[in-house]
A and B are shown apart, each in its own frame.
Chain A
Amino acid sequence: MTADLRLAWHLVRGSDRHEWWRIALTGVGALLASALALGAVVLGALRGHHPIPVADGLLDNPGERAGVVAALLLLLIPVLGFVGQSARLGAVHRDRRLAGLRLAGATPWQVRRIAAAETGLACLAGSAVATLACVVLMVRVGDHPSVWAWAGIAVVAVGVPVAGTLTGVLALRRVVASPLGTVRRARPRTRPGLMFFGAVALFLGALFVSYLSLDRRPGTVPTGPMLVVSGLALAGAAALWLVGATSRLTGRLLAARTGNPAVLIAAERLRDDPWAAARTHAAVLLVTVVGTGFVGVRQTLLEVLHSGKQVAEDLSFYTTGLDLTAAAIGVGLAITLAGLAVGTAESLATRRRTLAAQAAAGVPHAVLGRALLLETALPLAPGVLLAGLGGAAIGTGYASLTEGGGWSMPWAALLVPVAVYAASLLAAATALPLLRRSVRPAELRYA
């Protein structure tokens, strides 16, 4: 084992910058995931009324706490998307390297251990930082957490690195099965397989079961959260399918007709591999639905609150709740956009030699840059439009169903899809400086 660890360390040290980016971003993803899970665990372990000196009393009572826990757990979805995207950074090079090890005589398990060591250690670093911060924070607040809370913290601190390691091992199944195939294959097919859907189903199931176990009102089934989770799962699957299908369709339609070189390149890439960006794009669509719906609901709720009816608590109790939800959606959007930026950078990095050859042949940087942005812009446009309409339907539905009626329609919500679309393009555009660096002549001759 120590020999494998030493080999893993030497391999990583001798590799290029992309590998370091992957390890660093994996660590950051593990940190985020641990932080969210820890928050959920600590809050979930509280019993009954328990005054907490933050968030205007929103966390004091079990009912609202359950909602916050659910929100924290849901935020894990974009984080996992981000980690998935980060794990692909420079993965082609890593796979080739490990396949080379296999060809040189390493056993499948040795290769798995080496890869697992890399991912696992990065995740361990991330979760350690998050756990330490969590413990320090709890001691500072002066609260005395229950045994359950400590147990949960320990489970998260160990569970995140273990999960990361397992994912690392799983991701290598192709390399381990056929080292030659990986060395020769130019680009991996990225169509999500049974494995992916299985993992998503498992994750949602685990989420739901852990949520149920936190709820300590025996006999009652919390239909609200169940509806939200299953609705989101359904919307997520639909979004994933929608992105893949529209990518292929727009690719095929445009590739046959366009006279514009940038559009042609982007369209043929979409047609060739419509699933390449499906994960991050699906997350963008989910955030759009939730965001648009939330803005609509929020407007109606605020109107209700200010009209002075049906208010049981202090006004700030409700507004803090809304603000916290908005912040959670904002965090989700930010993480999704980060995943999008990482994915775009990855797509540039893996084909830098082709790009360098195009630049050498006189294809202007502007055309290559436009093609890169169009790869994000083209498939996302119809999806975001649909997601925005869906979100708006939620908002208007809520407004029309709310007691009293006559609440104004939430037109402002329609700005959300536009903003998300613009932000996605900006996130993809952050990879453009990398394009300039990628097209160096040094890339021209060596693979």
Chain B
Amino acid sequence: MNNAATGEPLLAARDLVKTHGRTSALRGASLDLRAGEILAVTGASGSGKSTLLHCLAGIVRPDRGSVTYDGQRLDRLPEKRLSELRRTDFGVVFQFGQLIPELTALDNVALPLMLAGTPRSRAHERAGEWLERFGVRGQEELRPGEMSGGQAQRTALARALVTDPKVVFADEPTGALDSLAGEQVMTALAHTARESGTAVLLITHDARTAAYADREASLHDGTVVAEDAALEVTR
């Protein structure tokens, strides 16, 4: 929030280069994410969107370039510290697969809190509140395989947000959903992020999903080709 006032980005990538084998996914991509904003990253398949997200979230290290979060160089942090940061300051939502299939919705959402040492009963209480907030009430004891795609994604959102993260990374969160379920997931994400001042980096190839963001950055062949600064964040 303070960062937004000073205009200092919360998360900044500079000239990222990353190659997978012989194909280069990123060739000098730069991007700023300000506190509390929702930023959509769009581009064709293979334009490097996911790799950019992985670098920004500290999941992979770029070959060259820097990623700065809250004054720390993520590309230089040791893996243990990165893992801790992803647990406490970041939340992630993928297209699917981020929930543990054997755990109930409630345990899946409570897991990040339990990892931080919260007692299970307290973690369950918080998880229940989040599930209710995302309209997954009465489904707490279901396992991901027993839920609809939309319910599972909203459970995944609850899991990503339960630790009150500063940034949520969402990689095609509606990619596997029909349009109504997708709308519900995006509305839930946008509302919660705006209320709690959480920044969101949203990867999507769908313009209607991208329209939930405050800004859009387009990726083409591993570089950011256009940034549309649009609405003021105050809405």
Contacts and interface: CB of A to CB of B under 8 A. Distances in A.
Chains A and B come from one and the same complex: yes
A259 B112 contact: no
A442 B114 contact: no
A354 interface: yes
Given A357-B98, A445-B171, A362 B50 contact: no
Interface residues of B, number: 38
A362 B87 contact: yes
Contacts of A442: 20
Interface in A333-378: 351, 353-354, 357-365, 367
Given A186-B145, A264-B107, A442-B20, A363 B87 contact: yes
How big is the A interface, by class? Answer: 20 to 34
A12 interface: no
Contacts of A367: 115
A441 interface: yes
A84 to B, nearest CB: 23
A152 to B, nearest CB: 48
A248 interface: no
A186 B99 CA distance: 14
Which of A258, A353, A360 is the most central at the interface, judged by chain B CB atoms within 10 Å of its CB? A360
Given A445-B94, A445-B171, A361 B101 contact: no
B100 A354 contact: yes
Interface stretch (A23-31, A44-52, A265-273, A283-291): A265-273
Given A258-B120, A269-B102, A272-B102, A445 B50 contact: yes
A361 B54 CA distance: 11
B111 interface: yes
Which of B97, B114, B172 is the most central at the interface, judged by chain A CB atoms within 10 Å of its CB? B97
B98 A362 contact: no
Interface in A254-302: 258-261, 264-265, 268-269, 271-272
B95 A445 contact: yes
Given A361-B112, A445-B50, A265 B86 contact: no
B107 A444 contact: no
Given A259-B120, A362-B112, A444 B102 contact: no
Given A363-B115, A441-B59, A186 B83 contact: no
A379 B224 CA distance: 52
Interface in B76-105: 80, 83-88, 90-92, 94-95, 97-98, 100-104
A357 B94 contact: yes
A362 B85 contact: yes
A186 B101 contact: yes
B162 to A, nearest CB: 11
Main secondary structure of the interface of A (DSSP, over half): helix
A236 B211 CA distance: 62
Interface in B137-164: 143, 145, 159-160
A265 B171 CA distance: 25
B114 to A, nearest CB: 5
Contacts of A264: 103, 107, 111, 114, 120
A186 B147 CA distance: 14
B57 interface: yes
Contact of A362 (B84, B95, B100, B107): B84
B114 A259 contact: yes
A187 interface: yes
B135 interface: no
Nearest to A256: B120
A271 B143 CA distance: 13
Contacts of A444: 50, 54, 59, 94, 97, 171
Given A444-B50, A444-B94, A360 B102 contact: no
19 contacts: A187-B101, A259-B120, A268-B107, A269-B102, A272-B102, A353-B97, A354-B97, A354-B100, A360-B98, A361-B92, A362-B85, A363-B115, A364-B115, A441-B54, A441-B59, A444-B50, A444-B59, A445-B50, A445-B172
Interface of A: 186-187, 258-261, 264-265, 268-269, 271-272, 351, 353-354, 357-365, 367, 441-442, 444-445
By Cβ-Cβ distance, the 5 closest A-B pairs, closest first, are A362-B87, A362-B86, A268-B102, A259-B120, A357-B98
Given A186-B145, A357-B94, 10 more contacts: A269-B102, A271-B102, A272-B143, A351-B101, A357-B98, A361-B91, A361-B112, A362-B83, A364-B80, A364-B83
